[in-house]
Homo-oligomer: A and B are copies of this chain.
Amino acid sequence: MKPTSTRDRIIEEADRLFYERGYEHTAFADIAEAVGISRGNVTFHYQTKDAILDAVIDRRLARTAALLERWEAGGEGPADRIKSFIDILIANRAKIMLHGCPVGTLCAELAKLEHHALSHASALFTLFKDWLGSQFAALGLKKEADALALHLLARSQGIATLASALRDEAFLREEVRLLHAWLDGTASPSSRRRRA
C-alpha cells in the first residue's frame, strides 16, 4: 500500500473540488484545507493555479485512458464496451445530478474564462471520441464512426446538463434507456444491412 505523496494528494483534492465547485470558485486555501496542509505548502508543489489545473487535466486524461484500456482489455465486444460508456451516466448519477459532467462543465467554464487550458481540457472529449469511434468502426461502421461517436458524446452531455439543472433522475434513466435502444438500432447486423 504505497502512501500517496503530498504532490499527488493536492491534485486529487483539486480534481474533486474543481468538479464540485468549479475552477474559479476553488481557492488555494480550499485545496490546502482538503488535503490537510498549509497554503504555503500547496504553492511549494504548484506555483500557480494554472499549474494545478494542468495537472488535474493530465490526471483526468491518464485515468480516462486507463479506464478505456481496461474496457478494451475486457472480454466484451465493441457494442458492450459502448454500453459501458453509456452506463457511466447511471453509475455516476448522484454526482452528475449535483455537479454535471466533469468534462463538459470544466470545458464550459474554461470557455467563458477564455482560458488557454480549454484545448487541454477538450482533449478529454477527443479521447472519448476516438475510443468510441474505434468501437463503432469495429462494429463495421467505419465511415460513420466519428459522427456516431460525437453524437453519443453529445447525447451524454445533454443528459448530464439537463439532469443536473432539473435534478431529475427519472429523466436521466429514461434517456439512458433511449441511448441503449439507439445503440441497438445502430449497431445491430440488421441495421448495418439497412444502411448498406
Q: Which residues of A contact B (CB under 8 A)?
A: 20-22, 24-25, 98-100, 103-105, 107-109, 111-113, 118, 121-122, 125-126, 147, 150-151, 153-159, 161-162, 164-166, 168, 171, 174-175, 178
Contact = CB atoms under 8 A, between A and B. Distances in A.
Nearest to A171: B150
A178 to B, nearest CB: 7
Which of A112, A125, A126 has the most C-beta atoms of chain B within 10 angstroms of its own C-beta?
A: A112
A8 B194 CA distance: 56
What 7 pairs across the A-B complex have the smallest Cβ distances?
A158-B158, A154-B158, A107-B165, A157-B158, A22-B112, A157-B161, A122-B165
Contacts of A166: 122, 125-126
12 contacts: A99-B111, A104-B108, A107-B164, A107-B165, A108-B109, A109-B109, A111-B165, A150-B168, A150-B175, A151-B175, A155-B155, A157-B158
State the oligomeric state as a number of copies: 2
B156 A118 contact: no
Nearest to A23: B112
B162 A22 contact: no
A104 B161 CA distance: 7
Contacts of A113: 21-22, 25
A100 B111 contact: yes
A126 to B, nearest CB: 8
Give the interface SS of chain A, mostly helix, strand, loop or mixed: helix
Most buried by B among A25, A100, A162, A174: A162
A153 B162 contact: yes
Contacts of A162: 104, 125, 150, 153-154, 157
Nearest to A103: B165
Contacts of A105: 108, 112
B112 A108 contact: no
Nearest to A124: B165
